[in-house]
Chain A
Amino acid sequence: MAKIRGSIVVNIDRCKGCEVCMVSCPTGTIAMAKEVNHKGYFYAFPANPDLCIGCASCAMVCPDGVITVYKTKI
């Protein structure tokens, strides 16, 4: 059976660290960084990239549109 795999790209500079993507992610892919971006926000990043299914939930709720989503079948 083909497995769906996803991957996200987070624009660190524009992330405001609101965490809405993190709580919207159904697979626990996203976490907040321990370090801050140049604006002082703890930015979101794919802490568990293997879990990503490319559902784009994170990107849809991101107020600042900083997440790009890719998806493929393996």
Chain B
Amino acid sequence: MEKELRLMKGNEAVAEAAIRAGTDGYFGYPITPQSEILEYLMEAKPYETTGMVVLQAESEVAAINMVYGGAACGKKVMTTSSSPGISLKQEGITYIAGAELPCLIVNVVRGGPGLGTIQPAQSDYFQATKGGGHGDYHLIVLAPASVQEMADFVELSFDLAFKYRNPVMMLSDGAIGQMMEKVWLSPQKERSKTVPGWATTGKPPTRERIIITSLDLDPNAQERFNQKLVAKYNEIREKEVRYEEFQLEDAEYILVAYGTSARVCQKSVQLARNEGIKVGLLRPITLFPFPSKRLNELAGKAKMMFSIEMSAGQMVEDVLLSVNGKVPVYHFGRMGGIVTAPEEVVEFLKSKIGG
């Protein structure tokens, strides 16, 4: 079957892609700027077609714990929210990571801290990539930069989540969630009928009982489990790094930006090149694992690097660690729900080059 072309909001694209990817369950709670996802699903009624469960929970806390329950049955389950709601979900997320369950969590980021604003931001980078909840764990974090990617990353997220038995976060923002673009949608996939061996389905006499838990009171066993997680994260770092390069061949100055900021920086690169400044862009697609190796290689050839993000400077710390002192690294970006303008980036660039 062929792909279908539609004009959609990023949020709607996530919802439609979820149905088409054969998702078994969606558990959500309204919060701006991502409520369209739940609204779209309720209107589409996939429970009448694919059998996908769609439920509006009583809170983000309940929604993520429904995801835990569904994931532990080996089902493809997901939830979506925006920054304050994602904070509430952190308890559930750390339990899901600790129980090694696959699921998809979409964060359509808005500015903070606290209630902050309902406008787009990239201020949840630390929370998404460094754990978020308590304990040593990582999510796999994908950063879409278009409505198309918001759709495509649903299936990719589930593939990665089940491959590594690890929760995956799609770190979008209010701009991509709300913007309308054309999107090619994959054909409808059937919901999976196979049940992973680790899932709770009711214990037949032929096998041992299955216990999904993140608890181990024996410190030695718990440490062995922690080491197992570390090995898993290292494997993910080794195999799953994704990024996109833009005009880096001859670049002396390298912008590093993801999501909405990466779109802005594409324009900044063009503007700067018009003025004869050799600028390129590296767009991390996976924020965990971060493309550290590639950035370190590039640092050998560049004069400066710039982390452009709509935050007070979060990803810049990973850029600094990646280049390990090889070149100066600067951060620039607007906050509070303001999308950085391409010209502002160029001005900042020139101020550093000139200085």
Q: Let me know if chains A and B touch directly in the complex, using CB atoms closer than 8 Å.
A: no
* Residues on B facing A (Cβ under 8 Å): none
* Residues on A facing B (Cβ under 8 Å): none
